[in-house]
Amino acid sequence: MKKILVTGADGFIGSHLTEELVRQGYPVKAFVLYNSFNSWGWLDSCSADVKGNFEVFSGDIRDPYGVKQAMKDCDVVLHLAALIAIPYSYHSPDTYIDTNVKGTLNVVQAAKELSVIKVIHTSTSEVYGTAKFVPITEDHPLQGQSPYSASKIGADQIAMSFFTSFDTPVATIRPFNTYGPRQSARAVIPTIITQIAKGNTQIKLGAIHPTRDFNFVKDTVDGFIAALKSDKAIGEVINLGSNFEISVGDTVQTIADLMGKKVQITSDEIRLRPDKSEVERLWADNQKAKDLIGWEPKYAGIEGLKRGLLQTIDWFKDEDNLAKYKTGIYNI
């Protein structure tokens, strides 16, 4: 293998994936979003054993010329670059179409032209919307309940259409709610942890009754690498989930107990999704991942969730890390 391109390598999951690929000896090129600060996002603070051992390409996933240039010497693309914040998609949906749909088109079009041997495209459990049945298999209907989820449905369909139309070797990985160190405070678990770590006893949240299938980032990274290693993933959509659901409210209590704090939840109107847009229930069936690529979560069930949360809490409690978060404002 000549080289692996990781798009979105500067982000939460992408940075963890880049680090693990380097540790496993893969040659990696990290595609990061160009900016005038020359910031590589979370890769600026990557582990010492990884730093300097990967190539960086600064560009924009929305630009087909830059994407193709980045891919020219790569055999495999792990495509994670995306806009993912649901609230931001309500008032800036056009950006989501450009980034998620057009960006994915740029990747698979270049892969077709360059004869790349594998593209692993990143989906999201949000494409399922509120569960019509549980656990959710890959055959569950797709429901675009937010502009974000609609854009990811479009991206998924574009990616897989290149497999069916041109035999472009595309696999789609569909992670359920990933959490862990470095995650943005627009996600619920960092929102809870950072508020408690700052000494708040009144925790501001949106809806607390929906359930989620939370997955520690190490499990998600392992799933991507399992798909990378298996040709059985090509042409398939594969859930990465823990096969365990928990409500947001119970997640708050679990985190508070682990941090040794007593808290109360305050409903913050600005954090609520529109009623019909709220995804009420997510619970993954992960049998296909076990059968096809040999992946299963190491942080499954309530005990696995607690182990992952403890590692996440420890990272956020570090003052240098916590200082990167604006805990006093709502992060969309």
Confidence at residue 44, expressed as pLDDT on a 0 to 100 scale: 97
Residue 332 located in a structural domain: no
Residues 92 and 198 occupy one common structural domain: no
CATH value at residue 309:
3.90.25.10
In a domain, residue 46? The reply is: yes
Domain of residue 227 covers: 4-176+216-240
Under the banding of pLDDT at 50, 70 and 90, the label for residue 332 is confident
Does the pLDDT of residue 1 top 80, yes or no?
no
Taking the CB of residue 110, how many other CB atoms lie within 10 A of it?
23
Copy the structure tokens of residue 88: 């931001």
Average pLDDT, integer, range 183-209: 96
Determine the average pLDDT of the residues in 22-41: 97
pLDDT of residue 267: 92
Taking residues 1-29, what's their average pLDDT? 96
- How many Cβ atoms from other residues are within 10 Å of residue 265's Cβ? 16
Task: For residues 101 and 32, state if they share a domain.
Answer: yes
d(CA 85, CA 276): 17
**191 and 84 part of one domain:** no
Q: Is the pLDDT of residue 2 over 90?
A: no
Whole-structure pTM value: 0.97
Residue 91 sits in a domain of what CATH number? Answer: 3.40.50.720
Q: Is the pLDDT score of 191 beyond 80?
A: yes
Section 185-211 average pLDDT: 96
pLDDT above 90 (res 102): yes
Q: Are residues 208 and 266 in the same domain?
A: yes
Give the CA angle between residues 236, 237, 241 to the nearest 5°: 135
Q: How many separate helices (H) and strands (E) can be counted in the chain?
A: 12, 13
Scored b (16 or more CB within 10 A) or e, 274-304 reads eeebbbebbbbbbebbeebbebbbebbeeeb
The per-residue pLDDT for range 213-270, each reduced to its tens digit, is 999 999 999 999 999 999 999 999 999 999 999 999 999 999 999 999 999 999 999 9
Closest CA to 120 of 24, 233, 13: 233
Flag whether pLDDT at 328 surpasses 90.
no
- Alpha-carbon distance of 59 to 119, in angstroms, equals 19
Alpha helices in 33-126 (DSSP H): 64-71, 86-91, 93-96, 103-114
